[in-house]
Amino acid sequence: MNMDRNFARSGMETASSGGKGEGMTRLQRQEMKSWSHMLGARQMYTSVTALLFVGSLLCLAAPVEAQTNGVRVGNGRLHPSLDLQVGYDSFAGVGFEGGSEATGDLLLRILPGLSLEVPGPTAIFNLDAKADYNRYLGIDVRGTRALSYLGGNAHLGLVLNPGSRFTLELGDRFSHSDRTSAVGLGVGVLSLFNEVYAAASISPGGGAFILRPVYSFAFEGFLSSRTISPLSDEADRFNYLSHRPGMEISWRFLPKTALVLDVRSDIRRYPDEDFNVSSNALYALLGVSGLITPRIAIVARGGYGNSFVPEDELSGDIENYQSFIGQLDGTYILSQTARFKAGVARTFFPVSRLGWYGDNRVYASGQALFAGRLLTELEGAVHFLNYAQGRQDVLLNPSLKAGYQITPWLNVGLGYRFSLRRSDEDGLDIPAATEYDRHEVFGAVMMKY
C-alpha cells in the first residue's frame, strides 16, 4: 500500500542497533532496519486482522434480538451517520503572506461515519469509523485554503468469550488529524497514528480477583506543519514507534469498589536517533477505584514513574524522570441526569525530541441533561508541564458544549473551546505554535440512523 511505503520512507519503525554491513551507509542501514520492523508490524496486523475476521463470523452466526434502527448486517446493525459543522478557528495557521502572526478562518467540517455492533454469546464485534473533511474557506487570507485536509478516525474491536472467566480483546485504533500528542511541535501539525492492541481478562474463582495483561504496538508519523520555522519541512523527524506492555491486577473487595495494581511500560524509539531521545518508561500505581457511596465514586492511586532513558543518551541536558506519580479523582452523581467530576493527577510521558515531559494536571467537568433532550457539558483543565531540559509550559483548556435531540436520529449542537499556552523558554523553534491564545466556536447538525 502507498501508506506502508510512506511510513517506511519516513522511518516510522524502530531504528535498532543492528545493521553491521560494512559497505552500507548509516542511512542505508537505517532504511533496512526500518523495513525489517515494518515487516514485523505488518505480520502482527495481519494476524490481528485474521482473528478479527474469524470473530466477526462467529458474531454473525449468533442469535440477537431484533432492533428497529440501522441496517441489518447478519445479526448486527450497521448505523450510518453524517455530522456537519461550521465554525471559526482563530488559530488556523501561522506565517501567511510573509508574516509570523496567527491567522483565523472559517472552517467547514463534513464527517460521514459508520458504526457496527454485532453481539453474540461467544464474541462481540465492533466497528466505529468516521471520515473528517476539514475545509478552510479563506475569508481573511486566501492562503489558509491550503490547510484543508481529509482526516478521520476508526476503531475496530473484537471481544471473545464475553462474560466468561477468560476474555480476550483484540483491536486497532487509527486517527489522522491535527490534534497530536507531540507537545514539542505545538499546534499546526498533521499526524497519522495507529495502534494495534490485545488484552486478556482472567478471573479465577468467583470473579472478585482479575488479572488483565495488555500489550499494544503504536506508531505516529507527522506529515506537515502549518508554521514558519526550521522544522516546518522536517516534521517527520518527530516520528516514533512504541511498544506498550502492561499488567493490571484488581481485587473487588466491595460490590462496586476494587483495589487495583497497574504496572505498564512505554518503550519509545525513533528512526532519527540524532534528533530524539529514546526511553523505556515505567509506571507502577496502586490504589482504589469505585463507588464509596451510592452517589460518590473515587479513583485514588499513587506510585512511581521512571523514564529510564538509555545511559548513552543521558547528558547534562537530559536526565531521567524519576518521581512520584498518582491521581486523586472524585465524581459526584447529583441525579440520573447530572454529575460533576474533579481531580488532580501527576504523571509523565515520553515525547519526540524533548525526551519526556512531566504533567501536573488539575481538571474538572460536569454534565447535565434537561427535559430528556438538552445535554450540556462543561470541562476544563490546567496542565503544568516540565521537560527533560528544564523548559516549563502552562496549558489551559476549558470548553463548553450543548446538544439538543430533535428526533431520535437528528441532533443539533453548539460548542466553544479556548486554548492558552505559555512557555518560559526563549528562542523556541516554533514560537507561534507554542505560545498562543486560541478560540474555536462551532455549530453542528448530527444525523445517525
* pLDDT per residue as tens digits for the range 212-264: 999 999 999 987 655 544 455 677 888 999 999 999 999 999 999 999 999 99
Phi, then psi, of 145 in degrees rounded to 5: -60, -25
Mean pLDDT of 182-186: 67
Range in 7-16, 40-49, 66-75 the model is least confident about:
7-16
The reported pLDDT for the residue numbered 220 is 93
Phi, then psi, of 434 in degrees rounded to 5: -120, 0
The reported pLDDT for the residue numbered 7 is 31
The reported pLDDT for the residue numbered 225 is 57
Name the residue with cell 497514528.
Answer: 193
Determine the Cα–Cα distance for residues 398 and 383; give it in Å rounded to an integer.
11
The reported pLDDT for the residue numbered 226 is 58
* pLDDT mean across residues, the chain: 82
The reported pLDDT for the residue numbered 144 is 83
Q: Tell me: the pLDDT tens digits for 344-372?
A: 999 999 988 888 999 999 999 999 999 99
Torsion sign (Cα): 98, 101, 106, 108:
positive
- Long-range contact pairs involving 310-317 (C-beta distance under 8 Å, separation at least 24): 310/278, 310/280, 313/277, 313/278, 317/388, 317/389, 317/390
2-448: CATH number: 2.40.160
Range in 109-113, 122-126, 219-223 the model is least confident about:
219-223
Pick the closest to residue 91 from 81, 107, 104 (CA basis): 104
The model's confidence at residue 89, banded by pLDDT at 50, 70 and 90, is very high
- Give 80's strand partners: 114
Mean pLDDT of 292-308: 96
